A and B are shown apart, each in its own frame.
Chain A
């Protein structure tokens, strides 16, 4: 077994990520060269026996690293749009709180723009507007305030091209976009009809939005990822759908359509798109290629496709954590079977701790144990709470009783999780060593995932550790 036969796209994807990562440290041609070299290293270390055609496939793979890497760098470092006046129609694509204002993403004829608006303005998702104002580079919208948070980068990861300084905004009177209107309707019903913990969890699972109080609780428990629509949610829905549609004609077509609708209904977060692309590849693998697609290869293809669509996603923490978790999960499923499967949770926590603590400053130790409990618990709680909420959302008399029952279950979970946090109150702050350890776990898992064996996987893990330590 070697990387080219088990997961041929993984070295390519790793090369693109390395190029993007190094693009801000070294001149671009060297960043591409470094990406190609790292791919080569991965392939060479992973190859114990030379397969037939290796001499042809190796340069082809490296070409597949270099050419798209040039495309990615050109897109990331392209010249930003000039400031200019804009007057025309715009659709509110999404909106969220941003300090004392609302950050509103508008779909205009000039692409997606970001506007910082007063919270008093009724700019709900799906609203059609007639706007006029100045289109400006995102940097002009966010003065440099120091610190590590880069707002333009954050918004570019969400697909925003430029900022918008409105001089006038009015409702155009046209019917809004159907998806946006649905999301707004759903959000209103959830907020009005359900008790606090149920609505916080279902708001996240159904619309991808976070209730601040529930988000604070999950941050304390180290389970914030449960509130971001990700592979966990898409996977649960996929499992339920495939079970329900068992025996139906066009089962794959129906389940794919429903799953994509769910991803878009929840706002199309990077992690959800990654998971859905991966599931789609796994579902289509037997039909298109005649054999099931390797999960590790599917993660790489999904991550790579998303990068080609929007290279700024590379700096999106949601995308990164999603890719790391999925890669470790898929890789460890090859070696951690039976009772050892419980170690997968530990491996994922360790692999993501470096990145999570770099961004959020620290990670709670309680999260290590909470995730072992939370993942199976929420895979039952979320579907059950969703079904229990339906009567209340539909306005059926007495429907609130079921929702109240689920609220009690969520309260019990809160009490249990808080107790674990009291027992394990420590936080691990970011330091280069934890970052290096995470890189090592990821490198080792990737090695095992492509079947290079324990010894070579350990070599790869050690090299990944050193690289992270030396490059940081």
Chain B
């Protein structure tokens, strides 16, 4: 075989390697055969994004009109990130509709240092939340402070409004609650409420884009802070 043919063969083999990588990433993205990694948050945004992008999250259903639409169905298990004064902090799987005490039990219970009066063990959980169990005397040091890193390297700019601590259900939240989301003012919050009253509840987070004034960029900013419940 001459050099030219070998070169073309190498080129094809190289393209094949790219295709293999693509197949690996598509096939195994967010799937952890040895259990989800716990103990380290690491680059948490990527983990969340890969779970969010999993094809399992959006099964196809048939509507009465026969058209295929994507509808978000409740996941079989909720994934919770539990940190602070519990025996085994990390990422946990709990049954949908669980309360905080169930997640704490799944994490091996509270440590002796946990501030039992500072938490509501009966609080309702939702999929994807981060719950921190404070220790006795622990003060949430960064409460109310939007980091000024907004003017620096990794941060996103120009959003002084603090993010809500728990995800907001866009199908049931009042306009005032929606205003807590970054980039959502009173007018836009009112439009969201009017839209869901007129057109029915949102079937997925992406569905929020049907409201005029919410585009892909704005949705991306608030995606992690909202949930869609029936």
Binding site for B on A (CB under 8 A): 18, 22-27, 30, 33-34, 37-38, 40-50, 76-80, 97-101, 116, 139-154, 157, 165, 210, 212, 215-216, 219, 228, 315-318, 359-361, 429-431, 456, 459, 463, 466-467, 470-471
Contact = CB atoms under 8 A, between A and B. Distances in A.
27 contacts: A25-B50, A37-B24, A38-B17, A44-B13, A44-B17, A48-B7, A50-B3, A50-B6, A77-B42, A80-B39, A80-B40, A116-B141, A116-B142, A143-B142, A145-B163, A147-B225, A153-B44, A210-B151, A228-B153, A359-B155, A360-B157, A431-B216, A431-B217, A467-B22, A470-B26, A471-B22, A471-B25
A45 B42 CA distance: 33
A18 B151 CA distance: 28
B142 A141 contact: yes
B29 interface: yes
A429 B217 contact: yes
A50 B3 CA distance: 7
A78 B153 contact: no
Nearest to B3: A49
Given A47-B7, A98-B147, A76 B157 contact: no
B148 interface: yes
Contacts of B158: 361
A325 to B, nearest CB: 14
B140 interface: yes
A24 B3 contact: no
Interface centre among A50, A143, A219 (most CB of B within 10 A): A143
B10 A361 contact: no
B130 interface: yes
Nearest to A357: B217
Nearest to A167: B137
Contacts of A27: 28, 31-34
B145 interface: yes
Contact of B20 (A37, A48, A150): A37
B24 A30 contact: yes
B47 A99 contact: no
Given A27-B32, A154-B149, A459-B11, A149 B156 contact: yes
A98 B153 contact: no
Interface string B80-91: 010110000000
